[in-house]
């Protein structure tokens, strides 16, 4: 059967733009690309503890066997959700199969037909996809621009007294690595009786005393309607959870289609989440090393005159803006040839003209590696 010509044309256009995505091969380069910020994904200690937990709790099944509403709600789920809610000082936690599922499930079901969703223009694709599936109206506000946000809130509050306004942002933005002023955002949402939703995907394991996230670093957890935490980054495993009230959890169990109509996670996956969370409390040295590396990276890029290239960030994500798909791919390839796994982020993943090298920092990177990769970048760019 012939491949549809319309689809072939789209692939060819993407290739002409030097933006065709391909699956990479595994490599032995120094890792500056993965989201495994604390090294938990490759931790033998966590792997062994997860295995031992399954033995101790007599979980010897390979799969959940069904959705959680039918046969997949094994007791590890309840134990893990209880631990997560206590860790994050939340009334409840509801585990989803992925961060994508959590965002799609929340935004497609919670905001109603007459409601309004106001989201940061740089919010993740999973948030935007969920919003598209919603019956609510939605509008974006300029990135981290709360004056623009308040203008929109006032406009919609004035036009409709019965609408609920949901404000949506991320505590760490996945492509820029920057953060909003979350306390000011809380004040703004409270001033206008809006519901604040924050995705903490890239803050878990990075901010907060035990890696709880940026919201808890500022002790704002009781002022936010919902938080989304994902486990494929700092926790080194897979899945996500939505944190909020008991009423919100009950609602999602009944109406979030990405939760209802999917097979649950296997006992092994849920055990890995629980052991990962326990590791955040016991492996404080990894969090400390990561923060030291973030500080060192920022100091070194300043010393080498690279600071103007980078988006301002105090997170594990550091992005150097190098416009043009061809140019940024060339520099990424040069760094990879020198043994450093640094990935180019191309348009249309980011807007045209905002192509970048995205450096992800980890607890297991050392200062020599950081110094050398930035030195090489300076020689390739200048």
Of 101, 144, 143, the C-alpha closest to 126 is 101
Q: Give the domain CATH number at 209.
A: 3.40.640.10
- What number is the average pLDDT over the span 9-26? 91
Helix (H) or strand (E) holding 3: none
Per-residue pLDDT band at 232 (split at 50, 70, 90): very high
Beta-bridge mates of residue 320: 310, 357
Whether 11 is in a domain gets the answer: no
Q: Phi and psi (nearest 5°) for 10? A: -70, -40
- What number is the average pLDDT over the span 84-99? 98
Contact yes or no for 263/72 (Cβ under 8 A): yes
Whether 9 is in a domain gets the answer: no
- Which pairing describes strands 317-321 and 356-360: parallel, antiparallel, or unpaired? antiparallel
Per-residue pLDDT band at 2 (split at 50, 70, 90): very high
Per-residue pLDDT band at 26 (split at 50, 70, 90): confident
Of 151, 153, 145, 154, the C-alpha closest to 184 is 145
Q: Are residues 119 and 224 in the same domain?
A: yes
Q: Are residues 277 and 294 in the same domain?
A: no
d(CA 29, CA 182): 36
| pLDDT of the residue at 159 | 63
High-pLDDT (> 70) share of the chain, %: 99
Q: Are residues 180 and 272 in the same domain?
A: yes
CA angle 256-133-182, nearest 5°? Answer: 80
Q: Are residues 197 and 258 in the same domain?
A: yes
Answer whether residue 120 shows pLDDT above 70.
yes
Q: Are residues 313 and 277 in the same domain?
A: no
Tally: H helices and E strands in the chain: 14, 12
- What number is the average pLDDT over the span 220-229? 98
Q: Give the domain CATH number at 299.
A: 3.90.1150.10
| pLDDT of the residue at 251 | 98
Q: Are residues 94 and 242 in the same domain?
A: yes
Q: Are residues 95 and 201 in the same domain?
A: yes
Q: Are residues 180 and 210 in the same domain?
A: yes
| pLDDT of the residue at 141 | 98
* Residue 39 structure tokens: 């090294």
Whether 6 is in a domain gets the answer: no
Give the chain's domain count: 2
Distances in whole angstroms, Cα of residue 146 to Cα of each of 61, 111, 171, 183: 49, 21, 14, 12
Q: Are residues 293 and 223 in the same domain?
A: no
Whether 13 is in a domain gets the answer: no
Answer whether residue 208 shows pLDDT above 90.
yes
pLDDT in tens, 265-303: 999 999 999 999 999 988 889 999 999 999 999 999 999
Q: Phi and psi (nearest 5°) for 306? A: -95, -10
Whether 242 is in a domain gets the answer: yes
- What number is the average pLDDT over the span 219-245? 98
Whether 49 is in a domain gets the answer: no
**Dihedral sign from CA coordinates of 262, 263, 267, 268:** negative
Report DSSP letters for 101-121, one per residue.
Answer: HHHHHHHHHSS-TT-EEEEET
Q: Are residues 277 and 328 in the same domain?
A: no
High-pLDDT (> 90) share of the chain, %: 94
* Residue 32 structure tokens: 């500056």
Q: Are residues 253 and 353 in the same domain?
A: no
Q: Are residues 84 and 207 in the same domain?
A: yes
Per-residue pLDDT band at 19 (split at 50, 70, 90): confident
Contact yes or no for 327/345 (Cβ under 8 A): no
| pLDDT of the residue at 359 | 98
| pLDDT of the residue at 173 | 97
- Peptide bond connecting 57 to the previous residue in cis, omega within 30 degrees of 0: no
pLDDT in tens, 133-177: 999 999 999 999 999 999 999 988 766 667 899 999 999 999 999
pLDDT in tens, 332-378: 999 999 999 999 999 999 999 999 999 999 999 999 999 999 999 99
| pLDDT of the residue at 382 | 81
Contact yes or no for 142/185 (Cβ under 8 A): no
**The domain containing residue 364 runs over which residues?**
25-40+284-381
| pLDDT of the residue at 372 | 98
Return the SS3 of 340: strand
| pLDDT of the residue at 160 | 67
Contact yes or no for 182/210 (Cβ under 8 A): no
Return the SS3 of 164: coil
């Amino acid at each position: 059967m012939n491949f549809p010509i319309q689809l072939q044309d789209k692939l060819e256009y993407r290739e002409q733009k030097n933006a065709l995505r391909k699956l990479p091969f595994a490599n032995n380069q120094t890792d500056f690309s993965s989201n495994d910020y604390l090294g938990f994904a490759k931790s033998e200690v966590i792997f062994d503890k997860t295995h031992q937990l399954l033995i101790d709790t007599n979980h010897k099944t390979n799969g959940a066997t069904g959705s959680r509403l039918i046969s997949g709600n094994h007791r590890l789920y309840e134990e893990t959700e209880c631990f997560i809610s206590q860790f994050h000082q939340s009334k409840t936690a509801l585990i989803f199969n992925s961060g994508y599922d959590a965002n799609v499930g929340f935004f497609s079901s919670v905001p109603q037909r007459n409601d309004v969703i106001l989201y940061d223009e740089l919010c993740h694709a999973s948030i935007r996809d969920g919003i598209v599936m919603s019956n609510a109206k939605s509008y974006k506000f300029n990135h981290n621009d709360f004056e623009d946000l308040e203008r929109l809130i006032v406009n919609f509050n004035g036009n409709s007294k019965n609408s609920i306004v949901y404000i949506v942002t991320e505590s760490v933005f996945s492509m820029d690595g920057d953060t909003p002023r979350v306390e000011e955002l809380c004040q703004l949402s409270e001033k206008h009786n809006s519901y604040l939703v924050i995705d903490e995907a890239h803050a878990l394991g990075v901010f907060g005393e035990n890696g709880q996230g940026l919201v808890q670093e500022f002790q704002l957890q009781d002022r936010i309607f919902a938080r989304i935490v994902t486990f494929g980054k700092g926790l080194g495993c897979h899945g996500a959870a939505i944190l909020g009230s008991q009423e919100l959890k009950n609602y999602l169990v009944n109406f979030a289609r990405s939760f209802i109509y999917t097979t649950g996670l296997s006992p092994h996956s849920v055990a890995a989440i629980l052991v990962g969370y326990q590791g955040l409390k016991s492996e404080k040295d990894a969090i400390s090393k990561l923060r030291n590396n973030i500080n060192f990276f920022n100091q070194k890029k300043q010393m080498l005159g690279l600071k103007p290239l980078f988006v301002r960030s105090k997170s594990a994500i550091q992005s150097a803006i190098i416009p043009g798909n061809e140019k940024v791919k060339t520099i990424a390839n040069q760094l990879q040839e020198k043994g450093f796994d640094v990935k180019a982020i191309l348009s249309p993943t980011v807007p045209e003209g905002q192509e970048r090298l995205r450096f992800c920092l980890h607890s297991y990177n050392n200062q020599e590696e950081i110094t050398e990769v930035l030195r090489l970048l300076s020689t390739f760019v200048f």
